[in-house]
Structure 1
C-alpha cells in the first residue's frame, strides 16, 4: 500500500526528473540562450525559397535568427513584406533578435540621408520585433584611420536615433578593424570614440581569432558588458577559411564562459562560405556539434 507520505515523495522525485529502474535522472537544464543562426550563412537557400528553408532551419533546432538584407523602399526581407516575413518566422517558432542593415552605404552622405535610411530600418525592425539594428561592414575604400574617426561619429549619431526609438544598436567587426595604421587601430577608435550607451558591439569571434593581437577575453575586460551579441564560427586549421563548428582551430570552451563579463544577450552561429557540401548541410553539422559540445557552457 502506498502511504500519503510515499505518494508525495514519489511525486516530488518525478517532478524533478525521471525514475528508471529506481534511478533518478535529472531533466537536462534548458539553455539560457536560444541557439541563433545568422541567415547570411544560407543566403543562397533563402534567396531561392525562404518558406521551405526556414522550416528546415527550425527542424535542425535553431530558435533565433539574425537577418541579412533589407529593402527600405518597401520594408521587406527576402522578397517578403516585413509583416509577412514576421508571420513566416512565427509559423516556424522562430524569432529574430537582430538584423544586419546596409548602413555602411551611408557613411559618406549627409546625416539627413543617413537618418532617413535609419528610420526605415527602425520601421522594419519594429515589425520583426528585433531588439538590435547592426552595422555590419565597411566598404574597402573606407578603412583608413580618418574614415574610422568619421565612422565613430556616425555610429554615435545612428545610435542616438535608434535608442530614441526604443531599440539597440551595435557594430559588427571583421578583420580590417584590427589592422595597424602606424600605431592606430580602427577597432580602438570604435571602442574609444563611441558612446557605450548608444553603440554596443557585436563581436565576430572568428575574425578576432584570425586578425586581432588581443584575445576575446582581453577585449571583454577592456569594456565589460558592451559585447551584447556574438558570432560563433570556426576557422580551418590549414587555410584559416571558414569551416563547420568542430572542424577548426578555435577553442570555444575557453571563450563561452565569459558571456557574463562580455554582457552577451544573443549569439548566432555563422559560416560565410567554404561549405563541406552545401550551406544547409553545414548549418546542420554546426548545430549538432554546438548542441553536443558547447551549448552546456551557456
Structure 2
C-alpha cells in the first residue's frame, strides 16, 4: 500500500471509529423501539370512529405491534351480548377487528408496518371455538391468544380456582395444537389468600409452564401489592407479554381487587409511561432478562390518546436497556 492510500485508509478508519458508537447507539434505540406496541383498549373510541386513521397515527408515532380486544365475529354469542351491554355504558361500540375481515385487517397492518402478535379473547370462545380463532390468527399473524379476566364464577373460592387451572391446561394444550400460545392477563385479584392459598400462585404452580403463559400488567400487579420485578425474577419464561402502564403515585386496592369498583377507583392514577412512580425501566429490563418478548403500552380508555401514546413512546424508546 503506498503512502497516500495508507493515509486515506487511516482517515476513513478514524472517522468510522468516531461514527460507530453513535451509529450503534442509534441502532440499539431503533431495535428497542421496535419491541413496543399498543394494547388497543387504550383508544377504543378513536378506533371506533376512524379505524384506519388510528392505525396510521399509531404507526407514525413509532409503535410496531398491536394487541386487539374482543369480542370478534368468531366469539360466542354470550360474549357478544355481554359486550353490547358494556359498550353502551362505556360510550363506544367497536371491538375485535372493527368490521374488517382477517384478510382486510392483515392488508391494513402491512400498509402501516404493524403486526398483531397478541389478542385478548373471552374464555368460552377459546374453549368452544379455538379452530375459528386459529383460522383468523394464522391469517393476521397472532401468536398469543389470551384472556383479560377469569369469569367471576370461577374465582369465588379455591375450588373455583382449581377448576380454572383445569380449564387453563386444556385450553393451553388445545391452543398449542392449533399453533398458538394461550396466556392469562391478571387484573389484580387472586393475590390474597383464599382458604390459606394464594390463587395466582396456585395457578402458576399447577398449570403447564409450556402451554399456559402469563401477561403481566404492571399497574394491576402493583395495585395488588405485588412486586413486578420479584415476580418476573422468580418465574422466568412465564411472562412473555407485558402491559406497560405508569401510576401517578403508588396506590393499592382498598380490598382484594375483586370488583369493578375497586379497579375504577384506581383509574385516575393511570399515567403516561415515564411520568409516574413505577420503576418502568427496571421492570422492563427484568422482564427482558426473564424472557419477555412483547411490551404493550396501555392506558385504558385515555381521553387524550395521541398525546398519551406520544409521551409514552418518547420515554420507552429512549430507555437504556441491554
TM range (shorter): 0.7 to 0.9
Whole-angstrom CA distance in 1 between matches of 2:283 and 2:12: 40
Are 2:120 and 2:146, in contact at CA under 8 Å, matched by a contact in 1?
Answer: yes
Q: Deviations over 1:275-294 (max 9, x none)?
A: 4x5223211221122223x3
Change (3 A) 1:26 1:146: same
Q: CA deviation at 1:259?
A: 2.8
Inter-partner Cα distance in structure 2 for 1:15 and 1:124: 48
- Structure 1 counterpart of 2:82: none
Please identify which structure carries the higher strand content.
Answer: 1
What is the DSSP-based 3-state SS (H/G/I as helix, E as strand, rest coil) of the residue aligned with 1:184? coil
- Quick check: which one's helix share is greater? 2
Q: What does residue 62 of structure 1 align with?
A: 63
Structure with larger RCO (C-alpha < 8 A, sep 6+): 2
- Report what 1:110 is aligned to: none
- Is 1:291 the counterpart of 2:317? The answer is yes
Alpha-carbon separation, structure 2, partners of 1:47 and 1:149: 38
2:209 aligned counterpart, secondary structure: coil
- What's the CA shift for 1:13? 5.4
Q: How does 1:118-129 map to 2 (within 5 A)?
A: 118-129=130-141
Counterparts in 2 of 1:231 and 1:17: CA distance versus 1, 3 Å:
farther
Residue in 1 that maps onto 2:129: 117
Secondary structure of the residue that 2:292 maps to in structure 1? Answer: coil
Rate the CA distance shift 1:18–1:221 in 2: closer, same or farther, 3 A: closer
Equivalences, count:
281
Q: Which residue of 2 aligns with 1:50?
A: 51
For 2:272, which of 228, 244, 248 is the aligned residue? Answer: 244
Counterpart residue number, 1:281: 307
Q: 2:232 aligns with which of 213, 220, 229?
A: 220
The 5 A counterparts of 1:1-298 are 3-12=4-13, 18=19, 25-27=22-24, 28-30=26-28, 31-32=31-32, 33-73=34-74, 77-103=97-123, 106=124, 115-144=127-156, 145-212=158-225, 214-237=226-249, 240=266, 241-273=269-301, 275=302, 277-292=303-318, 294=319, 296-297=320-321
Q: Residue 232 of structure 2 contacts residue 287 of structure 2 at CA under 8 Å; is this kept in 1?
A: no
Instruction: Give the CA deviation at 1:7.
Output: 3.6
Runs of at least 4 residues off by over 6 Å: none
Q: 1:28-81: per-residue Cα shift (whole Å, max 9, x none)? A: 233345211111111111111110000000111111111112424499611110
* Residue 2 (structure 1) shift: 8.5
Distance 1:13 1:72, change over 3 A: farther
Q: Unaligned 5+ residue runs, structure 1?
A: 107-112
